[in-house]
Structure 1
Amino acid sequence: MRPKSAHEMSHVINVIKQSLNGSSSIVYLNIKRVTHLNMTAFHCLADVLISASRAEPNRKIVIVTSSVIAWSAPLFETLAAEQPNLVVEIYDSAFYPGQTFVEDESFIPILRTQTKMTWRHERDILPRHGLRQGLTIADICCGIGDFATLIKRQFKPVRLVALDHSKKSLEYARRVAAEFGLSTIEYTYGDAAQMLLADNQFDFVTCRHSLQIFDRPDILLRELYRICKPGGRVYITNEKNSHCLGEPHSESIRWTYEQVAKLFSHFDMDVEMGPKSRRLLNDAGFDDIKVESFMVTNLDGDPRDFADVIEAWENVYAGQMAVRRGDPPDFIRRFRQGFKDHVLAALHPKGYAGWPIWAASGRKPY
């Protein structure tokens, strides 16, 4: 919104006035996607909002902004400070339920290890889902950017955008890319559920281990569909944590990972999503859907790597999430024991430990 005069804002203002006139309780003004706003536009919006606030002091007006647009919340908060029934809500302040659990910087080395272990499988899987050299690619919910760097080096896209909502993760990702001399990856701060990316611009869109930690994966899939070109593909990976396994002590391990699934469900996340991938992609409008699964194991390289990952899971799931849920000490002790038994299975000279992942993709119809 960058009008030269207030007259150019008349249509927008009329729509807002009609909405305000149609409600006497609460009204939401969604400006999450407004990337540019000059002072002419702001003063027009401010005038109508202040007038409406004073006319109906019992009506609540909520201005919905996003932290992705850095100027938006502070600008409208100055306006709301003078009107008690005018409120600014930063839509993505809680973004997705699991963000606080995975943004701890101490978790970064484990995320890199996880990617190293899954990449051994995915570098062979991705071409079966349509990834090849010379494509435009978006890696959505890119996290620390390690997957994007691997894609850049092996598949040499003509353009690669990597988007995430964690500033800490993106800072780390840019450092790693610089170390490898990969200066052309476009690391972007953004809200995956409300992306400021144009429609129909990517040949191949990836979103790994992320749908399962959104409380509304359908909204994220809708955005992945939107930015994908007709004929392009969206590739997703998700887990089924209750199927993590190990020997010896299989019963203890099985019980613990069944509890992991219930724990995530408590926080509105679904780490059982892997086998649901086909349905999710179909419901989102994709066709030519491909689904396969693979098992990451302690035989994929150094077993110590897998053990490190399991110990990190224990720290986050039993050390943070279970405590926040309010689980009693006896439960947490048994919960932790299953992780310790899984570590033992990973390191045992005759042991076996596994972590199942589903990879799936769908084509956006022409």
Structure 2
Amino acid sequence: MTGSETYSATFNENNQEFVIAGKLRPRSASEIKPLESALLQALSNVRGTLYLNVKRLGRINNVAFRMIAGLVTQMVNKRADLRIEVVTSSVLGWSTRKFLPLAERLPNVTVVEYDKEFYPGQSFLEEGGFIPILRNQTRMTWRHERLLLPRHGLTPGSSIADICCGIGDFAVLAHKEFKPSRLLALDHSRSSLDYARKVAADFGITDIEYVYGDAAEIMIDDNSFDFVTCRHSLQVFDRPELILRELYRICKPGGRVYITNEKNSHCLGEPRGETIQWTYTEVAKLWAHFNMDIEFGPKSGRHLIDAGFDDIRMDTFMVTNRDGNPQDFADMIQAWENVYAGEMARDRGDSPEFIARFRQGFQDHIYAALHPKGYAGWPIWAASGRKPT
């Protein structure tokens, strides 16, 4: 096969997983005889379930698919005890569509899009309820972050990858402030990317590369960017170590990965501090119910070290009602209430009495933010690590 049409195939006996990645476009079946032999051997030796992982298989033609489908069909028809689970990704939607007919025809074959489970908060994001939250948050955190980013290694002219870019306003602000040589913004939500493109267009910016992709399986070459950001996102995923692995991989040696996260139970306000504290403690429990960790902030440094980074830098800053217009802070809290005490609490099955008490804490936080003598705060942890050279 040519260099542009390469693939890799590996079999892990411990978890019975056969992984095919890259591009699989042979002109004839003879070109992929090694793959055929390896897959046949794996199918023959497995007991129980073989996991056929194609979530990083960027391309496949009919020659290759017929070979794979033929072997799978042959083996499950021959062995009633054998089950095959094809693992795809919604980012590469064609792979799900390609393999589904095989599963419909063969009862022992199933197709699973792994990232449906991996993104537990995706449905809330896709509904658009987070858009006002994200816009208000970025507006208030930027005044802090624009001063912190140089300390964390971002310099003018750097190449930047903004992973889990959301609605794209941070990428636009970073573009304006630091004039990067390249800026790529990736997200797993098509609706967020559509909004991000609109934000860039509103600012007259045309050179941000928007990419639909999976942060745990990024289709970007190793060692591609000087500075990789992932803001307010590791707290949303149930396996943040997979995201960090990819952030590490695409970062250049000597480059840095920058992350921000929260500890929502440390939100505070006065007056009415007790009800505010109760509500944000409950927010943390609510997120945990959906396998998300909105308490991730102080854990950031440990996770960066575990991912292989060195020269860890950590800062914390408090976004408050006194940073600018108190109404901006109040609007952010109202957006939180709408989503957390709305769809999320209902989906968890919370009682009307609980939701009423839950909402009161948000309303008291708004009261504190708008009170002429009040104080309202929201703490953020910013951390970065250097990829060793």
Q: Same fold (TM over 0.5)?
A: yes
Structure 1 residue corresponding to 2:35, chosen from 12, 33, 38 = 12
CA distance in 1, matches of 2:294, 2:104: 41
Q: TM-score, normalised by structure 2?
A: 0.92
Structure 1 residue corresponding to 2:346, chosen from 311, 323, 327 = 323
- Aligned residue-pair number: 366
* Residue of structure 2 in register with 1:167 after alignment: 190
The one-character-per-residue Cα deviations of 1:56-105 (angstroms, maximum 9, x if unpaired) are: 23322111111111321111112222111111111222341111122222
1:183 is aligned to 2:214: no
* Residue of structure 1 in register with 2:282 after alignment: 259
User: Which sections of structure 1, spanning at least 5 residues, go unmatched?
Assistant: none
CA distance in 2, matches of 1:175, 1:134: 24
* Residue of structure 2 in register with 1:228 after alignment: 251
1:41 is aligned to 2:64: yes
CA distance in 1, matches of 2:181, 2:93: 29
- 1:22 Cα deviation (Å)? 2.0
Matches within 5 A, 1:240-319: 240-319=263-342
**Is contact 2:238-2:292 (8 Å) kept?**
yes
2:47 is paired with a residue of what secondary structure?
A: coil
**Is contact 2:132-2:332 (8 Å) kept?**
no
The one-character-per-residue Cα deviations of 1:198-231 (angstroms, maximum 9, x if unpaired) are: 1111100000000001100111101100110110
* Residue of structure 1 in register with 2:3 after alignment: none
The one-character-per-residue Cα deviations of 1:176-214 (angstroms, maximum 9, x if unpaired) are: 112212111000000001111111111000000000011
Single out whichever of 322-331 and 254-263 deviates more from structure 2: 322-331
Amino acid at match of 1:180: F
**Is contact 2:53-2:87 (8 Å) kept?**
yes
The one-character-per-residue Cα deviations of 1:274-298 (angstroms, maximum 9, x if unpaired) are: 1111111111100000000000011
The one-character-per-residue Cα deviations of 1:309-340 (angstroms, maximum 9, x if unpaired) are: 11111111111222222222222211111111
Amino acid at match of 1:161: L
Q: TM-score, normalised by structure 1?
A: 0.98
2:90 is paired with a residue of what secondary structure?
A: coil
Amino acid at match of 1:177: A
**Is contact 1:139-1:163 (8 Å) kept?**
yes
Structure 1 residue corresponding to 2:87, chosen from 48, 64, 67 = 64
Q: Which runs of 4+ in 1 moved over 4 A?
A: none
Matches within 5 A, 1:10-159: 10-159=33-182
CA RMSD of aligned residues (A): 1.1
Amino acid at match of 1:327: D
Amino acid at match of 1:11: P
**Is contact 1:24-1:56 (8 Å) kept?**
no
Single out whichever of 179-188 and 231-240 deviates more from structure 2: 179-188
2:331 is paired with a residue of what secondary structure?
A: helix
User: Which sections of structure 2, spanning at least 5 residues, go unmatched?
Assistant: 1-23
The one-character-per-residue Cα deviations of 1:161-190 (angstroms, maximum 9, x if unpaired) are: 100000000011111112212111000000
CA distance in 1, matches of 2:131, 2:194: 12
State percent identity of aligned pairs: 63
1:127 is paired with a residue of what secondary structure?
A: coil
**Is contact 2:118-2:239 (8 Å) kept?**
no
**Is contact 1:138-1:161 (8 Å) kept?**
yes
Structure 1 residue corresponding to 2:358, chosen from 328, 335, 343 = 335
CA distance in 2, matches of 1:214, 1:125: 25
**Is contact 2:129-2:339 (8 Å) kept?**
no
